[in-house]
Amino acid sequence: MENGAAKPVIVAIDGPSGTGKSSTSKAVAAQLGLSYLDTGAQYRAITWWMVNNGIDTADPSAIAAAAAKPEILSGTDPTEPAITVDGVDVSGPIREQDVTSKVSAVSAVPEVRARITELQRAIAASAVTGIVVEGRDIGTTVLPDADLKIFLTASPEARAARRSGELKGADLHTTREALIKRDAADSSRKTSPLAKADDAVEVDTTDLTLQQVVECVVTLVEEKRAGK
């Protein structure tokens, strides 16, 4: 790297569903010329593979035995974050309800987390200009040495409203209950639970527009870069 070139900046953005993680992370990465990684998509991808290959997702030992089999490739372009499993583009199918309902159980299996965490660290390490990595355990487990850690929060009501907007026609109450249930599952699992890192900056997005959240995070990243 040339002298004077900016050091790659690694930004970890964690938080539960419906806080605006993906939209914020993609926009920040695009604005700052950084790579982008949606770690949730990787867990959805391995879950999709398990479902399609007849693995019993209620059996942790069956999941563990198959964890190393699928080849998962994640694109890191924030404008078009592609993801393939064994060469198949799964960016659409991994968002379907069948995968959504099983991803917490699959993600809780230590062998799955070890496999995906290794993948995530390799992608972050190879990002030339830096990367925005979003998930649930990035600042605590995957990239504990990230330059900047951000934890997004929002009220369950705000999160359900956003998620219902994404899932056209979804019932608000049902969506809220599903989010709370998923939070509980992700926060209580033994391996790498959803948690805020001690040194993370918490941003409550309840009353903020997406643009305001993006501006806030961009400012934090630029301050961090300037301080290096």
SS (H, E, C) 106-130: HHCCHHHHHHHHHHHHHHHHCCCCE
To the nearest whole number, what is the mean pLDDT of the chain?
A: 91
Cβ atoms of 94 and 44 closer than 8 Å: yes
Q: What average pLDDT does range 95-122 have in this prediction? A: 95
CB atoms within 10 A of CB 94: 23
Contacts of 161 (CB under 8 A, 6+ apart): 172
Task: Identify which of 2-16, 111-125, 172-186 has the greatest average pLDDT.
Answer: 111-125
pTM: 0.88
- Cα separation values, 16 from 134, 137, 148, Å: 10, 10, 18
Written as one letter, the residue type at 200 is: A
Q: What average pLDDT does range 156-182 have in this prediction? A: 79
pLDDT value, residue 128: 93
Token couple for 116:
């995906």
pLDDT value, residue 3: 43
Q: What average pLDDT does range 33-56 have in this prediction? A: 97
Q: What average pLDDT does range 36-51 have in this prediction? A: 97
Contacts of 37 (CB under 8 A, 6+ apart): 74, 76, 81, 120, 123, 124, 131, 132, 133, 134
Give the percent of the chain with pLDDT over 70: 95
Given a cut of 80, whether residue 95 has pLDDT beyond it is yes
Confidence band for 215, pLDDT divided at 50, 70 and 90: very high
Please write the tens of the pLDDT for every residue from 121-146. Answer: 999 999 999 999 999 999 999 999 99
pLDDT value, residue 169: 66
User: In residues, how long is the chain?
Assistant: 228
Confidence band for 1, pLDDT divided at 50, 70 and 90: very low
Give the percent of the chain with pLDDT over 90: 75
pLDDT value, residue 5: 55
Given a cut of 90, whether residue 184 has pLDDT beyond it is no
Over its C-alpha atoms, the chain yields an Rg (Å, rounded) of 17
